[in-house]
Amino acid sequence: MTTAPAPRIAVVGAGPGGLTCARILQRHGIAVTVYDRDGGPADRNQGGTLDLHDEDGQIALREAGLLDDFFRLSRPEGQEMRQLDPAGTLHFHHVPAEDERVKPEIDRGVLRELLLNSLEPGTVRWGHALRSVEGPAGGPRRLLFADGTTVEADLVIGADGAWSKVRRAVSDAAPRYTGVTFLEAWFDDVDTAHPEIAEFVGQGSAAAADGDRGLFAQRNGGDHIRVYVIQRLPEDWIAAAGLTAGDTEGVRALLLGHFRDWAPAWRRLLTDNDGPYVDRPIHALPVPHTWEHAPSVTLLGDAAHLMPPLGVGVNLAMLDACELALAVARHDSLDDAVRDYEKTMLPRSTRMQELLDNGAAELISAELPDFAQEGPAAG
């Protein structure tokens, strides 16, 4: 009696979704390789903080056997939330209970390190920037990388984010600009170097908006704060002013004009940042985003359902990863596993896409939207 060879599974993208999928597959004895474009785990800043919810992100970590480690590394005090108006008047203040674990914060880099360290040595192949996925829908597929190397796989899992190259193998959809843009500002050593800002933001987040623009400030680990300047503007607003994002003083002057009527405490978030701003226009996939089933390719996270950053991104990516890995473990064929996964994931993501369609406008609503779910996505 011959035994069928083990399927060759390739995950593209070493973010939280891709790494969670790989971890759960390995816990079930299933071989997997993760390919990532970065040269190594420390190649670039992983972005700010995020909260993992008990109804999705934490479920995935439980299946990964990492939930206790997450609670040890997370910052439950980061669940504090202050919602103010542009004049600086406080309208809502949530202070988490000492044992509150509904959505504790963790820095993205810390979460990624936790997941990376949980994988078998050599699982992640760094320096593999994907160029395209070729081959028939029934498989096997061939991954072509920018350095000219190729790899064959029976299942390719696209966990490669907003501008996914894997997506092109099953869908022609591309992200579209939402009309809302972020500009990110960083503050280091805040308790010593920026004590007024540290006190204003607290241990969690502080937000305000006036209908056309907003500010969202969020405490990160390591005595850092990130501020997201949120505006309804053309995507090329900086270039249209004859500037680049690296022209800190020029961009700052523009911002001070846009926020001229805001309280000094808020304007300090525009003037005292350490280093240049980071330009992050917000894109989303068409609603709904679905594709014709193929047994050899599927998507998770932003590659499948990129939405405005309203508190669901990483959590949904990790839940997708969990359900996909479990489906592979439970089914004898990859075709059945992918069908089972997509049967649940696609309707769920469609419902959420429809709920958040045009949701980027909520980020600047004068009604003070509930940012307490998860801070604006960065990176």
Contact 283, 176 (CB under 8 A): yes
Is 82 known as a binding-site position?
no
d(CA 65, CA 234) in angstroms, rounded, equals 44
Q: Which two tokens stand for residue 303?
A: 């590659």
Is 54 known as a binding-site position?
no
Is 336 known as a binding-site position?
no
Task: Look at phi and psi of residue 211 and say left if phi exceeds 0, alpha if psi is from -120 to 50, else beta.
Answer: left
Is 44 known as a binding-site position?
yes
Collapsed DSSP state (helix, strand, coil) of residue 227: strand
Contacts of 106 (CB under 8 A, 6+ apart): 49, 50, 51, 52, 70, 73, 74, 75, 221
By CB neighbour count within 10 A (0-12 exposed, 13-18 middle, 19+ buried), where does 142 fall? middle
Token pair 């670039």 is at which residue? Answer: 44
C-alpha 285: how far from chain center: 14
Sign of the torsion angle spanned by Cα atoms 29, 31, 36, 39: positive
List the beta bridge partners of residue 33: 10
User: How many CB atoms are located within 10 Å of the residue 198 CB?
Assistant: 18
Contact 183, 363 (CB under 8 A): no
By CB neighbour count within 10 A (0-12 exposed, 13-18 middle, 19+ buried), where does 98 fall? exposed
d(CA 91, CA 345) in angstroms, rounded, equals 37
Binding annotation for FAD: 51, 108, 302
Binding annotation for NADPH: 44
Binding annotation: 44, 51, 108, 302
